[in-house]
Structure 1
Amino acid sequence: MKIRNDVIKVYKDVHIWVGIVSGLMLFIAFYAGAITMFEKPLERWATPPSALAPPPPIERADELREAVLARHPQAAKFHAVVVQPTAEMPARVVWREPGKTRRDFTEYGASFAADGSLQVEKLARAPVAQLVDTLHQLVGLPFADAVARPIMGAVALLYAVALVSGLIIVLPTLVKDFFALRLGRNIKRMWMDVHNALGIVSLPFHLVMALTSVVFAFHTPFYAVQEKVVYPHGLPWGQHDPAPLPGPDEYPLPADELLRRVEAQLPGFEVYSFIFREDHGQLEASVTGLDIRYGTRGRTYASTHLNPYTGEVDPHDLPGHMEPWDATVNTFFMLHFGSYGGDAMRWLYVAMGLAGAMLFYTGNLLWIESRRRKRRDGVIPGQKRSARVLGCLTVGVSLGCVIGISATLAATKWLPGQADDLAAWHEGIYYAVFFAAVAWAFVRGAARGADELLRLAALATLLIPLGSLAGIWGIGGTWNHHGAGFAVDATALAAVPVFLLLAHHTRKRMLEGHADSVWSAKHEPAVDPGASPQEVAVSK
């Protein structure tokens, strides 16, 4: 395919600069996003064991619910009957008590003690998985959601521009270079081949990520336009009216009967919980669960309206029952979250997420190599400040994200016995380690910083399974689920030799690679490449 050179140059400039501006934030988004593909197993691994008695059978759920509401009437505003209790949601009945903000709330669970009395516990669902997801959503920015989300949207737009411009750049040589991976002394060519291969193979995945991220960032104005353009006469299903006030002989159906009626209406839908809300004496309910035959808008579950008095489900919000427009929108969410195809698809998304992070990393390496001042006549020139700064930023931000996530995960088994505000501690640990890594890269330089930070990444990641091992032995107030979450520890343990291998190759490149590179630690006199032979001789 023929494209004029001047057109290619324009698109190359666009691709380079939007990639540089957005690449480091996108590295954080993709690395954290890969981890969130197994958010629920991670949350399960990170949540301390509950001291509650085992949940009573579903047939006694309403007895427990009435006992909770009698003692804690504020629970009527929001409570749930859990059909399938888990390690992170161990109670049959749970409720929330609001805090200062919409997202700030305390969660409680209840059960019956051995003597039949009501047992209540403040649930300690670990916040670390949510922190990783927030890093993914807000591209690592330590700002409030209202500030960070529009920035994320702008980054996603730049990301889409970089994808399109990059595709145009490689079109003329696509067939010739697609399967090329030229290893050797030409470092720039090698990174170019890796970068192009990653970008081309995963282009559909990246386009979906970019477009859906823009929608997530600006969903409020998008939905306002959708309501006016697609539904000019109002939503077809209207607003759900709360269930009417019960008569003297009318009560919500028992949870076990609700379960039977929902299963009869939604074959294949696995019910997780029933959620109840009461406002001014009027009761509303919804059902959450999952039908593995369909992808969902949420990462781990789907939810829809339920009449608590009749058990009738309004399935319009559920995949497989949606109208065409809503099914299309659901598809975009499903493709972004990877909420289809089971664990095999999740692992594929993990691989694609890590490959995406590598794509942005190699893009920065290409920019640095393209601007390397090369050795001439045995003289090693000083590298441009811009190349040195980007090298340090690339190392510090990328490895700072990796080490910060590993460090805050490693603290998971130790913090519950030592601190109250776990969310603040986890966030503090991540950002303290992240900014320290960035500072270290600038102090030590890109070459030494990369070697040392990779070794630190290996150590921080090794501390994750060591924390679980300490929990088995009961050291320092740690805890363990006796085998639950083994996959988290095994994955972390498998990552340790990978970081050490990368550190080994980084050190080898630092000592034996091109001396005229920001990735070299060789201390030879730097001179101006425009200096005269006499000045060069003096400098030697």
Structure 2
Amino acid sequence: MDNTVKASTIKTFTDVHTWTGLGAGLALFIAFYAGAITVFTHELDAWDNYGIAQSEAGDIRQANELLSEVIATQPVAGETIRLNISSPEHPGNHVMWFERLEDGDFKRHDFHLNEDGTLDTSGNTSELAGFIYALHYNLGIPTDWGLWLLGVICFIYGIALVSGVVIFIPNFVKDIFVVRPGKNKKRFWLDTHNIVGVLSLPWHIMFAWSSALLAIAIFLLAPFQLTVFKDDITSRLAPELGVVQAPEPSGIPGAMLTAGALLDIARLEVPGLEPTQLRVSNVGDSNATVRVIGKTHSEHMEPYANIVMMATDGRILSVSQPETASAGATFYRGLIALHFASFGGYLTKWLYFILGLAGAYLFYSGNLLWVESRRKRRSQQQTPASLFLARLNSGVCIGCMAGISAAFLASRGLADLADRAYFMKGAYYGVFFAAILWSFVRPVATGTRELLQACALLTAAIPILDIALLDTTPWSAAAQGHYELLTVDLMAIVAAACFWFMAAKLNKRAISGDPNSVWAAHPTSPHGTEATVASEGTQ
């Protein structure tokens, strides 16, 4: 070992890395796998809506009528509603309102105008992209607790990154590009774990930091609020970040300007603005405010501008655009762009997609390393902790992937149902928890192989269902300029092949691998039950 780092220091950081990784790994696998898919959220939404009648392109007059009709007929007083403005990429004006339910979750309401000018309240039942995004930022826990939990987990994730770097430093030059396949599977997993972790380290640092900041910023600021500032710290930070505190509701009704008038005011403030959304807060109140969000022709990483004004008279409260933003706002906007890959076009999206999958692999392989390091090579009887983590690793990781594939199938197969989103979410949770249960009632090697095969079949069914239910083929849709259908189907085929290959490799090792490995499939263990292990599907 290189003498620049003491052995005792390495051991300490190894312990820290191990326990922080174990504590956060499974949750981060879900966040990263879902996050990789979420990079293409707009394309996924287009896939999910393919074959469903879309709104025709609407003009600003229609936008005025739609917004007025929603405010007049729907219980949105005092709420925040969003008018998504018609564009070539997303034709048709439509209004969204997220109603907060008693359990902390949100119910989405969508409105658009029919051809005869009447309000259509049937809404958009497509929620697949939003649901996968929710898995990314709150693990599917439908309250603020899910977001806060993931924020804490990302803080732990940062500690795991730092400790992992310290562990790898002594052998950095010797091991950086070394992968040693062979009978020593622990060495193989360690080599690939190190390579993935080190090569993507800058991205992981950014992601851990930005995730914790976005999720639990209020808790990170609390010590400063209690010990340094007498007034509200957010009132100091908000202007620096380009955020304006909306006036408190007056309780006095007030009529707002038309959407067209508000957009005209925004364009005067930011010449060349291409508005994409108009967000009204405190609807119906004399202190209602409007935030106009639009794209500029700026070359900055985050080219969007925000114009906040009073809804009743158009008085400007703030203008935030790339060229004139403060240092704090520029930093914050850049952090958002880095986190959500909202720059660089499809090259950046594909890079983030690959890095997201690599991150999921990092946490999966980390748990496998822990199991490998604690297995008994000369005994069929393995430690309960090793077997428990092996089973849990299989159930959660494979269950997440299979559950998302099931959600794809449910959303496509039940597209005509009003409760489509309900069944889509039910498909995910049903498959996810069934996979965890299966991993604990079946022998681990056998159960893991079966879960991988089920995941492969569910994923392979996605393009089959597309061809069966849609009035076109993926390649015909691509020829007409709709590439999302073909792209999703091709990616599903590749993923299904990978899952099936992993199952085959796992089965081969279970039969012909080390008979005393925790991955081996023994007829019986010393306790009379089949000795089992976890998902080493990629071997």
Normalising by the smaller structure, the TM-score range is 0.7 to 0.9
Aligned to 1:455: 453
Cα contact 1:78–1:95 (8 A) shared by 2: no
Quote how far apart the aligned CAs of 1:510 are: 1.7
How much does 1:311 deviate?
Answer: 6.3
Distance between the aligned counterparts of 1:223 and 1:321, measured in 2? 26
The answer to whether the 8 Å contact 2:30/2:397 transfers is yes
Write the distance in 1 (CA, Å) between the matches of 2:426 and 2:288. 40
> Which residue matches 2:300?
294
Which residue in 2 is equivalent to 1:536? Answer: none
Change in 2 beyond 3 A, CA 1:505/1:321:
farther
Residue 260 of structure 2 corresponds to residue 274 of structure 1: no
Task: Output the CA distance in 1 between the equivalents of 2:216 and 2:256.
Answer: 42
Aligned residue for 2:468? 470
Q: Which of 237, 252, 255 is residue 257 of structure 2 equivalent to?
A: 252
- The answer to whether the 8 Å contact 2:66/2:119 transfers is no
Deviation at 1:80, TM superposition (A): 4.6
Cα shift at 1:374: 1.7
2:289 to 278, 284, 300: 284
What is the one-letter code of the residue matched to 1:37?
V
Decide whether aligned partners of structure 1 residues 49 and 71 sit closer, same or farther in structure 2, where only a CA change above 3 A counts.
Answer: farther
State the 1:195 CA deviation.
0.8
Task: Compare CA radii of gyration and give the structure with the larger one.
Answer: 1
Does the CA contact (< 8 Å) of 1:464 and 1:489 recur in 2?
yes
Partner of 2:198: 200
| SS at 1:274 equivalent | strand
In structure 1, what residue type is equivalent to 2:488? V
Could you tell me how far apart the structure 2 residues matched to 1:504 and 1:452 are?
A: 10
For residues 473-498 of structure 1, give each alpha carbon's deviation from its aligned partner in whole angstroms, at most 9, with x where no partner exists.
59xxxxxx995731222322221212
Do the aligned partners of 1:84 and 1:273 also contact (CA within 8 Å) in 2?
no
- What is aligned with 1:515? 515
Counterpart-to-counterpart distance in 2, 1:245 and 1:392 = 56
Tell whether the 8 Å contact from 2:59 to 2:86 is kept in structure 1 after alignment: no
Give the AA of the match of 2:285: H
Q: Deviations over 1:112-147 (max 9, x none)?
A: 52xx54242421242222221222112x3x544243
Paired position in structure 1 for 2:375: 372
> What is the CA–CA distance in structure 1 between the aligned matches of 2:39 and 2:350, rounded to whole Å?
8
Residues in 2 aligned to 1:334 and 1:34: alpha-carbon distance in whole angstroms: 15
Distance 1:489 1:259, change over 3 A: farther
Deviation at 1:454? 1.2
The C-alpha deviation readout for 1:220-267, integer Å capped at 9, x for no partner, is 234566787677868558645599999x9x983661x65455445435
Matches within 5 A, 1:373-412: 373-375=376-378, 381-412=380-411
Q: Residues 76, 391 of structure 1: CA spacing in aligned structure 2 closer, same or farther, 3 A cutoff?
A: closer
1:360 paired residue number = 363
Q: Which amino acid counterpart does residue 472 of structure 1 have in structure 2? A: L
Give the direction of change, closer, same or farther, for the CA distance of 1:283–1:145 in structure 2 (3 Å limit).
Answer: closer
Q: Measure the CA separation in 2 of the matches of 1:439 and 1:244.
A: 53
Could you say if the C-alpha distance between residues 148 and 106 of structure 1 is closer, same or farther in structure 2, counting changes exceeding 3 Å? closer
- Measure how far apart 1:172 and its partner are: 0.8
How far 1:55 sits from its partner (Å)? 4.2
Q: In the aligned structure 1, how far is the partner of 2:171 from the partner of 2:55?
A: 66
Q: Deviations over 1:436-465 (max 9, x none)?
A: 111212222332122211111111112222
Judging changes above 3 Å, is the alpha-carbon distance between structure 1 residues 252 and 112 closer, same or farther for their aligned structure 2 residues?
same
Distance 1:293 1:314, change over 3 A: farther
- Counterpart of 2:193, as a letter, is H
Q: Give the conservation status (yes or no) of the 8 Å contact 2:250–2:285.
A: no
Select between 395-404 and 493-502 the one with higher mean Cα deviation: 493-502
Distance 1:69 1:233 in 2: 33
Aligned residues, how many?
506
Structure 2 distance, partners of 1:330, 1:224, is 22
Q: CA deviation at 1:194?
A: 0.6
CA distance in 1, matches of 2:338, 2:384: 41
Larger deviation: 491-500 or 357-366? 491-500
Asked if 2 retains the 8 angstrom alpha-carbon contact of 1:36 and 1:133, the reply is yes
The 3 A distance-change label for structure 1 pair 213 and 167 is: same
Counterpart in the other structure of 2:165: 167
Deviates more, 1:287-296 or 1:330-339: 287-296
Q: Residue 177 of structure 2 contacts residue 195 of structure 2 at CA under 8 Å; is this kept in 1?
A: yes
Counterpart Cα distance in 2 of 1:231 and 1:145: 23
Of 258-267 and 283-292, more deviation after overlay is shown by: 258-267
* 1:170/1:100 CA distance change after superposition, 3 Å: closer
CA contact (8 A) 2:83 2:279 kept: yes
Instruction: Evaluate the alpha carbon distance shift between residue 51 and residue 73 of structure 1 in structure 2; reply closer, same or farther with a 3 A threshold.
Output: farther
SS of residue paired to 1:252 = coil
Q: 1:3 and 2:2 equivalent?
A: no
* Distance (Å, rounded) in 2 between the aligned partners of 1:254 and 1:99: 25
Q: What TM-score does the superposition give when structure 1 sets the normalisation length?
A: 0.82
- State how 1:104-503 maps to structure 2 within 5 Å: 104-111=106-113, 113=115, 116-138=116-138, 140=139, 143-222=141-220, 236=239, 239=245, 252=257, 255=260, 258-259=262-263, 262-263=266-267, 265-267=269-271, 269-277=273-281, 278-291=283-296, 293-296=299-302, 303-306=306-309, 316-375=319-378, 381-418=380-417, 420-472=418-470, 483=482, 485-486=484-485, 487-503=487-503
After superposition, give the CA deviation of every residue in 1:385-419 in whole Å (9 maximum; x if it has no partner): 2222221111111101100111111100223434x
**What's the offset of the Cα at 1:319?**
3.9
**Which segment is superposed worse, 495-504 or 172-181?**
495-504
In 1: Cα distance, 2:98 partner to 2:131 partner: 21
Structure 1, unaligned stretches of length 5 or more?
475-480, 528-540
* Aligned equivalents of 2:222, 2:22: Cα separation in 1: 33
SS of residue in 2 equivalent to 1:485? helix
Give TM-score scaled by structure 2 length.
0.82
CA contact (8 A) 1:243 1:282 kept: yes
Q: Is the 8 A contact 1:27 1:357 kept in 2?
A: yes
